[in-house]
Chains A and B, each alone.
Chain A
Amino acid sequence: MNAAIPLIDSDLVGTTGARHGAMGYLTDTTLCIGCKACEVACKQWNQLPMDNLEWTGYSYDNTKDLSATTWRHVAFIEQLDGTNGHSPGVMPPFQSNWLMMSDICKHCVKAGCLEACPTGAIIRTEFDTVVIQQDICNGCGYCVPSCPFGVPDLSASDHKAHKCTLCYDRMVDDLEPACSKACPTDSIQFGPIDELMQRAERRVAELHQRGVKSAYIYGDRAVGGTQGIDGLNCFFILTAEPEVYNLPAYPELPQDKVGSAWLATLGAAFAIGAVAVAALRGR
């Protein structure tokens, strides 16, 4: 495995803290053809408006990021060899020189947004997914910075927070979510986490066997700080470092820093007190 990939503990590969029966997505980027069917299928089902008409010039990515109105987003990373200006004609197996990756809310096992929400608008559903209830959300925006992945976003028009619901409405009726249903190459697969995780492990092993040594699962407890989040309900098979896809290598909940900050404050108080006492004593 590529040394650059932040593997913490190989015993944790393929494990998440998700409870049994949790539903999620496996997004296998080695099968993604960058068609953006998932983006449109999501907008179609959720009746989300278009964002804007700005041509970015950044590869074929013009929607740029997840937002209040874009709940699936396909990133394009051109990785052709720049040293001599020539693409190598014979390529490593599976998607290699032009990475495409369909990003989405990770529905974290320990969700920062949920923990930060002061109104109780964000809930964990019976499918173990994380959903913002629009009739409760007051648009305070606390969830926005509390997500290590930058997923929830305040809408400029209704001023509430929005993100992927993992098609909660469809799941209630036993329907597959819109994006995974549309995906032509099965790059996005939907199902129970346990099953998906097994599938992901098999796929990664197969990729390793076929020469894609850099393939790994992003979102289990083995990778980076997802230990702190206890895994993701929507995980990915990646072939380059997380940062290449604009994903944090060590995602952390801001909340996790609260304890140490509190201790630090306490320590500082003690120190000041001690200094004060010492000063007084010395008098």
Chain B
Amino acid sequence: MPGLGARLGRGGATTFQQNLAESDCIVIMGSNMAENHPVGFRFVMQAKQRGATLIHVDPRFTRTSAMSDVHVPLRAGSDVAFLGALVNYVINSERWNSDPFFREYVTHYTNASVIINQDFKDTEELAGVFSGYNPETRQYDFETWQYDGEQDHSTSPSGDRSTNRDQTGPNRDEAKEVQTAEPRGEFVGRLTGQPRTDPSLQDPMCAFQIVKRHFARYTPELVERICGVPQDLFLRVAEALVTNSGRDRTSSFCYAVAWTQHTIGTQMISCCALLQLLLGNIGRPGGGILALRGHATIQGSTDIPTLYNLLPGYLPMPTSVKKHDTLTDYLQVETPELGWWYNTPKYMVSLLKAWYGDAATPENGFAYDLMPKIEADYSFQKMLLMMKDGIIKGLFCMGENPVVGGQNAVLGRQALANLQWLVVRDVFEIETAAFWYDAPEVRKGELRPQDIKTEVFFLPASLTGEKEGSYTNTQRLVQWHDKAVEPRGDCRSESWFMLQLGKRLKELYAGDTSARGRQINTLTWDYPTIGETGEPDLDAVIREINGYTVADKKLVKSFVDLKADGSTACGCWIYSGIMPEEGKNLSKNRRGDEAAALEWGFAWPANRRILYNRASADPQGRPWSERKKWVWWDDTQGEWTGLDVPDFPKTKRPDYQPPEGAKGIDAHPGDAPFIMMADGKGWLYAASGLRDGPLPTHYEPWESPIGNALYPEQPRSPSALFFERPDNVYHELGDPRFPYVITTYRLTEHLTAGGMTRYVPWLAELQPGGFLEISPELAAELDISNGDWVTVMTLRGEAETRAMVTLRLQPLHLGDQIVHQIGMPWHFGYGGLAKGGIANDLSALVQDPNSRIHEGKSFTCNLRKGRAAGHPAGYSTKRPSPELTRQAGEEEGHWVKGDVKGDHGA
């Protein structure tokens, strides 16, 4: 989540769900919270009951809108224009300029006063691009974005090989392609001392003035023209936010993937962070930004990442396009002088000790060589192309359904058909496992199983209840789930699969002294097993994740105990402290309370619930108000205290000033709440960490029916990443063949690609088939009635589905132009009980340059009445074949319609 990371320091929700109840105004934007997080939404309802204003900004009127005080329908993908206009409104509002709270918060806790490099040029000066843009490579040189005085650092702290022209390494373009700007940001190393500031915020090159100028043209009129939002509705939102922010009131934002899934998705999120910093809402109860993750442990999957560019705890993967040759090089490049990341060596060395054990010694750089180096983009979308192009030959797919959930799913199925082998581990025979006989292409006869070479393994997996382990929820809270029963048949956990496969591979490589032999043989893999099936003892895994001292295997209490000398081992430093002593797994804590619930589960880091909570006190350390107190300085005890674990050095005084030459966190003054940032401040202006600009800028989606009203010369994101090839063709802006905006979304009754819901009868009956939603106006234009079969088309593919004609969708008036929007759930596929056309057969591979996330929330399409030619019968959303319903009822007695249990459990 680089959008939050770049401005605040960490890629996680800044608050926790329960705390929404304390909000005075909640803006849900880029999320359909009532539908996708119904239980979390109960805190929104509590806030509403207490009188909070609830605002939903969304292209569609959803179950969230139904509960809101204000619903703002906006054009999909135009969120930055809306948020930017809020920024502009706030800065110029009377309240913001007259209530001293705002100025105090902003000057002390953000980088508003920092003077930026004099050579920096804004998009307003360069017609839609920032200074440093290279149109050939579509990339930015970040030099001019830096803080003043930091640009001509003698060494190249980023270690970017390409900045050294004599190097014969891979070129700069590739260097930029490798890393995503995950929370730590790769230029954190630039800052070595306190930057030059103007606390009066008057200097034209101070961050505040740059922000002010950048957004000056984001007016209510512009919002109406770009977003299709009536001005009075926009003003209503702006006023609600300004009124409900301040010393005694706080507003919060909730967002989800409807912000991330855009070519400028990271900047949408970052714009929200910018706005919330300006309003003084970060780090305070009832404030903040709640990132709503879509799956049980999306947050955990990035903390302990199965992502190509990260190691556990947001350490960057070593890469061959930076000067990462040795551990010393890596640490030199990746360790900033200031801020918490100054501790990087401790975390990296401890990780190497955890993975390579005794073989990791100071002499061999702790076996750093054994860690592979990445060299290019291997993110999800690129992987599909690597499979299709024969680079990836074997694929493991565990609990993911890419031929429904992946973009350009037509290409995705072709990619699977070009693999040598495919291992699918799941609980149902999902579409990805069945592609070779059940895909639309096979049913239509375009592809025959006899022509598909892929060797396919389906290994049944076990589920919660059948295995133990932990999930990290949307608020960074790690919770343990116990095992209740043994799994049936061959069902096994992924831990079992990995452990047993690893053991077999170690046997196969026994005695192999080549590099690849050493890599697997050196890996520490001696987890004790339990039970007949040989499941790993997860206590041993949690111990390793928590960290221990190597000599006596004693658990460390927290990441503060980790060392860079090889005396400690730790699998994921941000989770350190989860098991501070033997037998005490804090994720198993189950004592909840009404406040911060500090004894329910374990929230990383260090069990903090509201991040940056130093900002809940004023610069002198006193609560901003009685109503909004959370963490404060206790002068008699000489420490920070309050309702939460302070996200700040516990005994650092509010008036602390760093001595000359101080390093790391000691270099931050006592009023710098953002401890992960090099200067300890929230970044209104992001000097580093974002590839597409230090400030959010409105660009149209990659596919849009209209041009960019703000910057006609730069309609699309100038640095979005794309894959132009015959099997992934894009629509030009304003292409009359594809006049409609389509946005994809989820329903309460299903989860993602449906692998856990469309196969469950109780959920299948609630939403039994695919459909799309259109306005009565569009329906009338195309002669479509409610319930008709329709076909949606793009240059990637087509999908047939049923039409739901509803007033919940409405055409938008952008000046003279009317834009129609189509909404289509992306759950459905050709397998399971609830079937339907695949929305992702329509979408394209295209990426946000920061997160490498696609643009499924906004692209263009055409729509016509009628079914697709030659489409397989299996798409019917009427009752499927009678055998299937019968089969679905017979195996377990209680499912059978005839077996209604009337004995009330006797």
Contact = CB atoms under 8 A, between A and B. Distances in A.
Contacts of B811: 85
Interface string A124-138: 000000011011010
Nearest to A44: B762
Contacts of A82: 776, 807
Contact of A34 (B63, B834, B903): B63
B784 to A, nearest CB: 12
B66 A98 contact: yes
Interface in A68-118: 68-69, 78, 80-82, 85-87, 89-91, 93-98, 100
Contact of A55 (B775, B802, B900): B802
Nearest to A53: B768
Contacts of A31: 45
A52 B61 CA distance: 27
Nearest to B902: A134
A186 interface: yes
A214 interface: no
Interface string A21-55: 00000000001011111011001101111111111
B607 interface: no
A44 B760 CA distance: 12
Interface stretch (A156-164, A224-232, A249-257, A262-270): A156-164
B313 interface: no
A159 to B, nearest CB: 9
A245 interface: no
Contact of B899 (A37, A49, A80): A49
Contact of B767 (A47, A60, A94, A165): A60
B902 A132 contact: yes
B69 A98 contact: no
A53 B787 CA distance: 15
A2 B34 CA distance: 28
Contacts of B42: 184-186
Contacts of A100: 63, 66
Interface string B743-767: 0000111000000000001111111
Given A49-B895, A51-B765, A55-B771, A34 B66 contact: yes
Contacts of A39: 766
B423 interface: no
Nearest to B894: A47
Given A46-B901, A156-B897, A157-B898, A52 B879 contact: yes
Contact of A40 (B230, B763, B894): B763
Contact of A49 (B749, B767, B807, B897): B897
B230 A89 contact: yes
Nearest to A171: B904
B877 interface: yes
B177 interface: no
A259 interface: no
Contacts of B894: 47, 49
A2 to B, nearest CB: 19
Contacts of A15: none
Contacts of A55: 767-769, 771, 802, 877-878
Contact of A98 (B65, B70, B233, B771): B65
Grouping DSSP codes into helix (H, G, I), strand (E, B) and loop, the B interface class, with mixed when no group exceeds half, is loop
Contacts of A132: 902
B734 to A, nearest CB: 24
A246 interface: no
Contact of A91 (B69, B73, B230, B885): B69
Contacts of A36: 748-749, 766
Contacts of A168: 904
A90 B65 CA distance: 10
Given A49-B896, A69-B897, A89 B73 contact: yes
A168 B899 CA distance: 19
Interface string B878-906: 11100001001100001111111111111
A57 interface: yes
The contact size tier of chain B is 35 or more
A43 to B, nearest CB: 5
A50 B894 CA distance: 10
B764 A53 contact: yes
A165 B762 CA distance: 19
B377 interface: no
A146 interface: no
B39 interface: yes
B905 A57 contact: no
B804 interface: yes
Interface in A121-156: 131-132, 134-135, 137, 155-156
A35 B70 contact: no
Nearest to A159: B898
Contact of B802 (A34, A57, A68): A57
A230 B257 CA distance: 50
A53 B833 contact: yes
A81 B896 CA distance: 42
Given A35-B35, A40-B766, A87-B808, A169 B879 contact: no
B213 interface: no
Contacts of A43: 762
B36 to A, nearest CB: 10
A36 B266 CA distance: 33
Nearest to B234: A89
A98 B877 CA distance: 25
A169 B902 CA distance: 11
A260 interface: no
A63 interface: yes
A210 B280 CA distance: 29
Interface of A: 31, 33-37, 39-40, 43-44, 46-55, 57, 59-60, 62-63, 68-69, 78, 80-82, 85-87, 89-91, 93-98, 100, 131-132, 134-135, 137, 155-158, 160, 162, 165, 168-169, 184-186
7 contacts: A35-B34, A54-B768, A57-B804, A87-B807, A90-B70, A98-B65, A98-B808
Interface of B: 34-35, 38-39, 41-42, 45, 48, 61, 63-73, 230, 233, 236, 747-749, 761-769, 771, 775-777, 786-787, 802-804, 806-808, 810-811, 833-834, 877-880, 885, 888-889, 894-906
In the complex, the 9 A-B pairs of residues with the closest C-beta atoms, listed nearest first: A157-B898, A134-B902, A169-B904, A57-B787, A80-B807, A50-B761, A98-B66, A53-B768, A55-B769
Given A53-B764, A62-B766, 17 more contacts: A33-B35, A50-B895, A52-B765, A55-B767, A57-B771, A60-B767, A63-B766, A85-B811, A91-B69, A98-B61, A98-B63, A100-B66, A131-B904, A155-B898, A157-B899, A162-B902, A184-B41
